[in-house]
Amino acid sequence: MKLRKTFGLFFALGLIVAVAIVLIVGCDGSSGPVDPFNNDYEYQLGGVLIKDYNRNAAYALARLERNDTLVIGAVITIDGDTLTPSGSTYFYAVGPADSLPSGAIDVSVKDSSRFHDTLAFTIPGNLSILSVSPPVKGPSDQVSVNWTGAADADGYIVAAVKKDSAYMGLGYSQWVTSQTTSISINDSAFTTTTIQGDEPNPGIYYIYIYAYNGVPDSTLLSALLPTSIPNQLDDNITEKNLNGTIGSIVTTLFGTVEVVAE
């Protein structure tokens, strides 16, 4: 009688373990959903969201690599809107600049069953240039620009480009990694290099201020902003299987300064 009870106890325990294994493995023999942070894949993401009031447009742009190889078949969404693969990047035209509100926003990255993660970042508030002085710059004049601060901005980019060279990946720009709202623009923004050295490059220049949050990917910005962008800031995505940069930029409408040779 005691033997039967012991056998019955082991049989019951075995049945419980078997049921547990079925629940863990799944009825189809698979291991269930893939743990996105427990695999052999390493991902690198570059992403940026732009509100450009000079073109009255908002864009989302991203680039994704898996183990140093471009990934084109992933699904990347910004607050539920899916970016479309375009060459080596993912692109989405959101609409007019004001169609993209300021504040918190989510980006989701999914590479089939290999990887899925959601990141949160912030779009700064709007800003505007208060003054550019002097309006006409001679060789000895220093150009100063003042602007309104933008809510949720981590800092700013000050940019200048000749009127006929905007949106061509040209011009001058510098990071302002603080909350200051006034700066003098380096003279190199308005000069050209000759055999004799740097000389004034006369003409009408457009002046811009870009508010940024996070770390916008500078390699993705050159074709979408009025000017080139300074060297890339350090990565702000440092997760187990995902590294890279993500951020947002909001532009002012341009101001102007005329540069004269004498």
Closest Cα to residue 171, out of 181, 156, 152, 186? Answer: 186
Rounded to an integer, what is the distance from CA 130 to the centroid of its chain? 26
Assess contact for 155 and 164: CB atoms under 8 A: no
Report residue 128 CA to chain centroid gap.
Answer: 21
pTM of the model: 0.81
Provide the residue-wise pLDDT of the chain in tens; the chain has 262 residues.
443 443 343 333 333 333 332 332 333 332 333 444 456 789 999 999 999 999 999 999 999 999 999 998 999 999 999 999 988 899 999 999 999 999 999 999 999 989 999 999 999 999 999 999 999 999 989 999 999 999 999 999 999 999 999 999 999 999 998 899 999 999 999 998 766 567 889 999 999 999 999 999 888 887 789 998 888 889 999 988 999 999 999 999 999 999 998 7
The residues spanned by each domain of the chain are 43-123, 129-259
Same fold, 43-123 and 129-259: yes
Pick from 238, 258, 228, 231: which is nearest to 159 by CA? 228
Distance from C-alpha of 117 to C-alpha of 37, rounded to nearest angstrom? 9
Q: Which CATH code, of 3.30.40, 2.60.40, 3.30.750, 1.10.533, is assigned to 129-259?
A: 2.60.40
| Angle at CA of residue 257, ends 252 and 259, nearest 5° | 145
Please state which CATH number belongs to domain 43-123. 2.60.40
